[in-house]
Structure 1
Amino acid sequence: MKTPRIRILVVDDHFMIRLGLIGAFAAERDLELVGEARNGAEAIEAFAKLSPDVTLMDGILPDLHGVEVTRRILQRHPAARIIVVSINETAEDVHRAMEAGAWGYVPKSGEKDTIVEAIRAVAGGARFLPPELARRLAERNTQVSLSARELEVLRLIAQGKANKQIAAELVLSEATIKTHIAHILAKLDAPDRTRAVTVAMERGLLRP
């Protein structure tokens, strides 16, 4: 009796990356490519049409973030099993993807064997994270997180804006902004605003 193959949809806007991902599992007898997509809209349409067993989802697409595409697919197809494959490897990136419902997260810098292992694990009903990403995620979950408002303030600090400008943009008093900054410095264990921005970027809370 023939063993059913794991049907895979590959989503990435770069042809060579798609080719590389497909090449990672092309020789595996139990894995089969059923479709490709270049952006979020194509991915959503392709998933609905093909119902793949596993989807390899680029973390950054030209129209939508891969995590948002993952979220939208899962809203329509709760049984979807999606692995995010991204150049971003911070704990915050992994957290966002898993929170959106991804079954796995693999860095684009990973080895071919890791992709194959992830596909088989997720198809079999297991979550998958390489050991290093699992460690980062565990560390992240022990850290104090910033509130949505604190992240807003920190983004404006990163843009070089002074307290008065931040207060005007967020329609808050300067005293309130100073309080938010004090909380940010304490949570990030940073001595000043510059270091706070650096720490936030290192953790993936902010992008350069």
Structure 2
Amino acid sequence: MSTVSKKQAANEQSQKIRILVADDHVTVLEGLVAIIGRQPDMSVVAQASNGRDAVARWQEHRPDVVLMDLRMPILDGVGVIDELRRMTDSARVIILTTFDSDADISRAIKAGAKGYLLKDAAREELLECIRKVYSGETSIPPSLVTKLAAGISSESLTSRELAVLSLLALGKSNKEIGVKLYISETTVKSHLRSIFAKLNVISRTEAIATASRRGLVQLK
């Protein structure tokens, strides 16, 4: 290749959106790399299979955009965003995940994610999201914005209420919850009334289902 051709190739490469892809599922990672690699305006400069490695690869390559799963080994997506944001305010991160609860979306956006997309999104939607975030925009599908708004507008549960709710999800009785948290059954019932009101439910079963859907508890 001539010197002119080399310079031209280098210039074209520098004009592409440089992307770091991080996912702990090999088939997903390889698929994303292949899709992005076929785009004339994009280039995958690094890959990572866990959160800690993603931070290291970002420090090494300083990509324009990070496309990352939410739940990853060693350090999760929110943890990665926290570390990147401590290093620079310019890090642009897109969360690509299967989790769509308002709690998950809220955690990611509050941490500083610029995009949030589900893994079943169309290829064109994914590529458009990358381009928007690269240009400085925030990209969240309308359906997820609605969930995020619903979660923000509803009253937040206190740490004690979350503890009661977690034990409730494990099938514990009021008495067992009281013993575990060192509170009386009357206090447990008071917390449950508050939880039901905040979640807009009328039963223990409905409370557990709603809390699970919102990502407040994780059922075994």
Counterpart among 48, 54, 69 of residue 59 in structure 2? 48
Structure 2 distance, partners of 1:79, 1:106, is 20
- Say whether 1:125 aligns with 2:136: yes
Provide closer, same or farther for how the CA distance between residues 168 and 64 of structure 1 changes in structure 2, counting only shifts above 3 A. Answer: farther
Q: How many residues align?
A: 208
The answer for the alignment partner of 2:79 in structure 1 is: 68
- How far does residue 180 in structure 1 lie from its aligned partner after superposition? 1.0
Q: Secondary structure at the match of 2:153?
A: coil
Alpha-carbon RMSD: 1.6
Structure 1 distance, partners of 2:182, 2:78, is 30
- Say whether 1:144 aligns with 2:159: no
Counterpart among 156, 172, 189 of residue 178 in structure 1? 189
- Give the % identical residues: 38
String of CA shifts for 1:144-200, please: whole Å, max 9, x gaps: 222222111101100011222222322333332221111001111211211110111
The code of the aligned residue for 1:150 comes to E
What are the equivalent positions in structure 2 for 1:82-101 lying under 5 Å apart? Answer: 82-101=93-112
The answer for the alignment partner of 1:16 in structure 2 is: 27
The normalised TM-score by structure 1 is: 0.93
String of CA shifts for 1:10-44, please: whole Å, max 9, x gaps: 00111110112122322211111000001011011
The code of the aligned residue for 1:43 comes to A
Deviates more, 1:17-26 or 1:92-101: 17-26
The normalised TM-score by structure 2 is: 0.88
Larger Rg: 2
Contact in 2 for aligned 1:24/1:113 (Cα 8 Å): no
The code of the aligned residue for 1:48 comes to Q
Ranges in structure 1 where 5+ consecutive residues have no aligned partner? none
Q: Secondary structure at the match of 1:59?
A: coil
Structure 2 distance, partners of 1:168, 1:64, is 33
- Say whether 1:135 aligns with 2:140: no
Ranges in structure 2 where 5+ consecutive residues have no aligned partner? 1-10
Structure 2 distance, partners of 1:165, 1:64, is 33
The code of the aligned residue for 1:199 comes to T
Structure 2 distance, partners of 1:170, 1:68, is 29
The code of the aligned residue for 1:83 comes to I
The answer for the alignment partner of 1:6 in structure 2 is: 17
Contact in 2 for aligned 1:92/1:205 (Cα 8 Å): yes
Q: Secondary structure at the match of 1:160?
A: coil
